[in-house]
Chains A and B, each alone.
Chain A
Amino acid sequence: AQSVSQHNHHVILSEAASLELGCNYSYGGTVNLFWYVQYPGQHLQLLLKYFSGDPLVKGIKGFEAEFIKSKFSFNLRKPSVQWSDTAEYFCAVNPTNFGNEKLTFGTGTRLTIIP
């Protein structure tokens, strides 16, 4: 079975700092990869996704993520964070084999941005 690791449990940054949140997965086959965000008091929202093609994917609000197959990683980045980026971020994986539709999530990273 696949698993997802997010090693940063809580990250605290000042506004305008650069962000990188780690995500590693364990699965031998090809996968679809996702980052979801949960702002305080709101539901999970899709930030970006990777299905195939260019391993550098751009999402909403200036976020991007890079899929490095050799490292089984899909790290999330943003060059300059804002206070409004304070939220919980979840990485998720879904194997591409037919019939397997479920997402496996990491434990999440809580991001706090200090004004």
Chain B
Amino acid sequence: GAGVSQTPSNKVTEKGKYVELRCDPISGHTALYWYRQSLGQGPEFLIYFQGTGAADDSGLPNDRFFAVRPEGSVSTLKIQRTERGDSAVYLCASSLGLRVSNTQYFGPGTRLTVL
């Protein structure tokens, strides 16, 4: 079956602009996660959805970052007033959402470059 998909694969924007990054999880997965991976680092947690609600948004760095998942499937990560420090690969993952099977499957990521 299809894996997690993310669009766009690359996004170049200018400092101060608004961007949206999209994630399409594996069908039937109720849990969805966003991570950010900077160069030379491991992925860092941003936010986790169970269904439509954000169960844990403790990793969002500040209020310029926001994510939604209105119908419990596709999610959009929104970044306002982008800064050069936001440049990174943004990863999305999904899982069945069951504690006993909390294996997260990752998408290919969106590489965001803020000029």
Judging by beta carbons under 8 Å apart, are B42 and A106 in contact? Answer: yes
Among residues of A, the one whose C-beta sits closest to the C-beta of B58 is A102
Does chain B have a CB within 8 A of A13? no
Let me know if B106 and A105 touch, CB within 8 A. Answer: no
Q: Which chain A residue lies CB-closest to B100?
A: A51
User: Is residue A71 within 8 Å, beta carbon to beta carbon, of the partner chain?
Assistant: no
> Given that A43-B108, A44-B106 are contacting pairs, would A98 and B42 also be in contact in the complex, using a CB cutoff of 8 Å?
no
In this complex, the interface size class of chain A, counting residues with CB under 8 Å from chain B, is 20 to 34
Inter-chain contact A49/B33, CB cutoff 8 Å: no
Knowing A32-B102, A43-B106, A43-B108 are in contact, say whether A101-B43 is a contact too (CB < 8 A): no
Contact A101 B42, beta carbon cutoff 8 Å: no
Looking at chain A's contact residues, is the secondary structure mostly helix, strand, loop, or mixed?
Answer: loop
Bound: A32/B24 CA distance, A: 26
CB-CB under 8 A from B55, the residues of chain A are 99, 101
Residues of chain A within 8 A (CB-CB) of B20 are none
The reply to whether A43 and B103 form a contact with Cβ atoms under 8 Å apart is: no
Q: Do the beta carbons of B33 and A101 come within 8 Å of each other?
A: yes
Q: Given A43-B3, A101-B50, A103-B33, list of 12 further CB < 8 A pairs?
A: A43-B91, A43-B108, A46-B104, A90-B43, A92-B42, A99-B56, A101-B31, A101-B48, A101-B55, A102-B59, A103-B104, A105-B44
B-binding residues in A (CB < 8 A):
4, 6, 32, 34, 36, 42-46, 49, 51, 90, 92, 94, 96, 98-108
| 25 A-B pairs whose Cβ atoms sit less than 8 Å apart in the complex | A6-B42, A32-B102, A34-B103, A42-B108, A43-B91, A43-B107, A43-B108, A43-B109, A44-B106, A46-B103, A46-B104, A90-B43, A94-B102, A98-B99, A100-B56, A101-B31, A101-B56, A102-B33, A102-B48, A102-B56, A103-B35, A105-B42, A107-B40, A107-B41, A108-B41
